[in-house]
């Protein structure tokens, strides 16, 4: 009788650890998938033509949604092209610095887009939509809901020559059992006119 109790306790511990490790593995896979999409977007932004497309100041005629300018055009996957609105801070006409609007710290995962800029300005929420992730068999097992906030700030020529600072805050959510988990992170990079 005592041996059965010990065996049942050990078996419950093994089952519990199996469930816990599965949840950890799934959250790691979802994190890797979302960061892969975000870094793909970043690499596309780095390749945009500096003066005309970083950001574009006109509405693209091929954009069915007529996304207002300023915006950047990126491919999310083989089937999806998105025009992402950005908060653009150009230099003043006399070449002096304008206060950058990109946030200096990562906003909280559940923070809204209101007042998150460095100067208290609002972000523009670009909801990419639910991105399905498939399993080895090709069936959909989970999806991530991705939001991107993008700021492009021109850096004055007193410091460097023709450089823009791009701040991208991304957040995603996924279902973990009965709970929805929210994750937010921030990437900042510089884009020079002379990058090739």
Q: 39 pLDDT exceeds 60?
A: yes
- pLDDT at residue 134, rounded to an integer: 61
| Cα–Cα distance for residue pair 105/108, rounded to 1 Å | 9
The burial of 102, by beta-carbon neighbours within 10 Å (0-12 exposed, 13-18 middle, 19 or more buried), is given as buried
Q: Please state the length of the chain.
A: 196
- Per-residue pLDDT of 45-89, as tens digits, reads 888 888 888 888 888 888 888 888 898 999 887 778 889 999 988
Q: Do 100 and 118 form a contact (C-beta atoms < 8 A)?
A: yes
Q: 136 pLDDT exceeds 60?
A: no
- pLDDT at residue 61, rounded to an integer: 85
- Per-residue pLDDT of 152-188, as tens digits, reads 988 876 666 778 889 999 988 877 767 778 889 999 9
Q: Do 60 and 73 form a contact (C-beta atoms < 8 A)?
A: yes
Q: 29 pLDDT exceeds 70?
A: yes
CA 37 → CA 15, 93, 128, 142, distances in Å? Answer: 33, 36, 11, 15
Domain boundaries, the chain: 2-192
| Cα–Cα distance for residue pair 179/20, rounded to 1 Å | 14
- Per-residue pLDDT of 105-115, as tens digits, reads 888 888 888 88
pTM, to two decimals:
0.79
């Amino acid at each position: 009788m005592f041996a059965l109790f010990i065996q049942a306790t050990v078996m419950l511990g093994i089952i519990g650890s199996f469930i816990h490790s599965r949840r950890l593995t799934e959250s790691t896979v979802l994190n890797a998938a979302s960061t892969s999409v975000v870094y793909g977007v970043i690499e596309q932004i780095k390749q945009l033509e500096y003066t005309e497309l970083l950001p574009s100041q006109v509405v693209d005629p091929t954009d069915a949604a007529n996304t207002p300018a300023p915006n950047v055009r990126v491919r999310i996957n083989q089937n999806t092209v998105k025009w992402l609105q950005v908060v653009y801070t150009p230099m003043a006409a006399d070449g002096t610095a304008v206060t950058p609007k990109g946030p200096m710290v990562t906003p909280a995962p559940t923070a809204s887009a209101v007042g998150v800029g460095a100067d208290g300005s609002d972000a523009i929420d670009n909801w990419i939509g639910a991105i399905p992730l498939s399993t080895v068999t090709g069936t959909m097992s989970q999806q991530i809901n991705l939001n991107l906030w993008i700021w492009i700030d021109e850096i004055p020529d007193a410091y460097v020559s023709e450089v823009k600072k791009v701040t991208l805050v991304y957040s995603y959510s996924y279902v973990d059992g009965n709970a929805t988990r929210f994750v937010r992170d921030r990437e900042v990079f510089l884009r020079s006119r002379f990058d090739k």
